[in-house]
Structure 1
Amino acid sequence: MQNVLVTGGAGFIGSHLVPHLLALGHQVTVLDDLSNGREENIPSEAEFIKMDICNEKITGVMQKKKFDSIIHLAGQTAVSESLKDPIMDEKLNIEGMINILRSACQTGVARIIFSSTAAAYGNNENLPLRESALATPLSFYGLSKVTAEKYIRLYHDYFGIDYIIFRFANVYGERQGDGGEGGVISIFAKQIANDQDIAVFGDGGQTRDFIYAGDISSGLGQALVTDNTNDTYNLSTYTQTSLKQLITLFGNIAHKNFSIKYTKARSGDIYHSMLDNTKAIEKLDWHMHTSLSEGLNKTFAYFKKVKAEAHQCGDISGDIK
């Protein structure tokens, strides 16, 4: 078993990953500045350090803790925010990555596992997208993730640190916020739980490859123990789902009819996306176990519970914020 640092471990994916790693017997430390994450997402069995990934004191933390591996989840994850504030996006996703890499190499960390993105591929219509496809990001967010990938590969070449880069499809699940690439599911779930109309950017025909956060966590866990390192892997369902299909599935789950409001498509958003997950299955012995219907049921049940708890606590509207 390993001594693992999870950056951004108090966030959405971290809230699924950290309990999974603990269940596997790993010793886990979470480093998070709580700008987006929540301390209540961190299990009591994990150690928590409140710190920004750009803080140079991280080197001292790593020197003291002697981590075997780092799973780097922390960063800026919203396409729209990267377009509004590209300097902030660069600072978190590139400078933060370099700080982690520098500290890891100085303190003897053997392996770094990085959460990259399907946005690296841009608006490539040659679906399904394989890891060998040219990276042509359309947004500053995608660009910053691709740049971070290149830093990781060069750090391996120069300093020998092993790595695995994961390009995630659109991740969703319990405890997800409105931002990020899979956030449309949490947005829809909240709107439906609050009996609101569904708001769709674009015509609803755009497709995504939606993968449940628990399946992402199992892939990250496999990356800690595999010998097939120093490579890039897609984690995905290998399936396209349109926003209209997603809304239909939600209607079946919630047993509701709701109105849909279509608005202008957002800049930087790609229209179709689907990733080939064959390489991760064959080389990491990873498999997804959660169907979209099952994952949506879990996600909607969570947001219904949050709404009910908010109502019981005296929120007059009971709306999920």
Structure 2
Amino acid sequence: MKVLITGGAGFISSHIADLLIENNYDVCVIDNLSHGKLQNLNPKAKFYNVDIRDKEIFDIFEKEKPDVVIHNAAQISVFSSVKDPLEDASLNIIGAINILEASRQFGVKKIIYPASAAIFGEPEYLPIDEKHPLNMISPYGVSKHTVEHYLGVYKKLYNIDYMILRYSNVYGPRQDSSGEGGVVSIFCEKLINGQTPCIYGDGEQIRDFVYVKDVAKANLMAIESNRGGIFNVCTNTKMTVNNLFGYIRDLTRKDIRPGYVKERDGDIRSSYMTYDKIANEIGWSPEYSIQTGLKETFEYYCD
């Protein structure tokens, strides 16, 4: 079976590609390398350096004729979406429609799409399940959710199956510490270099951290499942930013304390999700504890 991954040189996507190739899938990758890195690419994956909005996408689909598309390429910065909503919509909506149209024309059977927790806003209840009300508070949240509607329409009109995977806070090797997310990679790099990490607010914000290899496994199982719809991919555990910092500091064995600064506008106080639906319908559950995942991640940044 052939799988095409957009954004496949990125953090999460490159781990998905590695796992699929390990399981004997034929993998091709589309990435314009605006955020992805060549060193993330598996040498067994065929690579195309193309923007998802480019008409060349249709030539690639005609040549490769993928059975499944994992559409991960996106503009992922909430801040950037507020600053430039047109560019956010161009990448996340127009780019996605370009991929959907190529998928329709060249016989793609299934599309797997990662949604964003940005669609929930401040949670009305915890843990967040798949039926939780949506309250987008950024153009990024709106653009990511808009694609979910397009997937539903393409299923009805053109019979392309889809699965939407809503990730909690993904962490692991290859994550870029330069972005506004990626707190695990930021803490790791700061502590390894003997620098003082910054924590916004009091550090008692609650998050749900899921290891990237568990996320890759969810994508593999999504390909192999005949199920469709929306599924949370998470751990259903509560981890404060302070506790996360403590775990990573223990790995470094350095007596460094964080610096606390004013909390950021729009930051959500508490957010964690339940994975009951994907466990019951597909059989996925997280295999990595936070301790094991952080240890592997820390060792990656030490190299």
- In which range does the TM-score fall when normalised by the shorter chain? over 0.9
Distance 2:115 2:131 in 1: 15
Distance 2:144 2:257 in 1: 36
Q: Aligned ranges for residues 182-201 of structure 1 at < 5 Å?
A: 182-201=181-200
Aligned to 2:274, what secondary structure does the other structure show?
coil
Structure 1 residues 180 and 96: alpha-carbon distance in aligned structure 2, compared to 1, 3 A threshold: farther
Question: Alpha-carbon deviations, 1:32-70, whole Å to 9, x = none?
Answer: 001111112111111001100111221121011111000
Shift of 1:182: 4.8
Q: Which amino acid aligns with 2:192?
A: A
User: TM-score, normalization: structure 2?
Assistant: 0.97
Structure 1 residues 36 and 300: alpha-carbon distance in aligned structure 2, compared to 1, 3 A threshold: same
Question: Alpha-carbon deviations, 1:164-213, whole Å to 9, x = none?
Answer: 00001000000100256751111111111111111012221111110000
Distance 2:82 2:152 in 1: 26
Distance 2:154 2:251 in 1: 47
Structure 1 residues 157 and 180: alpha-carbon distance in aligned structure 2, compared to 1, 3 A threshold: farther
Q: Which amino acid aligns with 2:75?
A: Q
In the TM superposition, structure 1's runs of 4+ consecutive aligned residues that sit over 6 Å from their partners are: none
Q: Aligned ranges for residues 147-296 of structure 1 at < 5 Å?
A: 147-178=146-177, 182-229=181-228, 231-296=229-294
Structure 1 residues 169 and 85: alpha-carbon distance in aligned structure 2, compared to 1, 3 A threshold: same
**Aligned residue for 2:61?**
62
**Aligned residue for 1:312?**
none
Shift of 1:20: 0.2
Distance 1:71 1:77 in 2: 16
Structure 1 residues 202 and 85: alpha-carbon distance in aligned structure 2, compared to 1, 3 A threshold: farther
Shift of 1:142: 1.5
Structure 1 residues 136 and 125: alpha-carbon distance in aligned structure 2, compared to 1, 3 A threshold: same
**Aligned residue for 1:136?**
135
Question: Alpha-carbon deviations, 1:245-270, whole Å to 9, x = none?
Answer: 11111121111221221222223332
Equivalenced residue count is 303
Between the aligned residues of both structures, percent identity stands at 39
Distance 1:58 1:69 in 2: 15
Distance 2:139 2:238 in 1: 24
Alpha-carbon RMSD? 1.3
Structure 2 unaligned runs (5+)? none
Q: Aligned ranges for residues 67-86 of structure 1 at < 5 Å?
A: 67-86=66-85
Q: Which amino acid aligns with 1:92?
A: L
Distance 1:107 1:76 in 2: 25
Q: Which amino acid aligns with 1:139?
A: S
1:77/1:180 contact within 8 Å kept? no
**Aligned residue for 1:314?**
none
Aligned to 1:286, what secondary structure does the other structure show?
coil
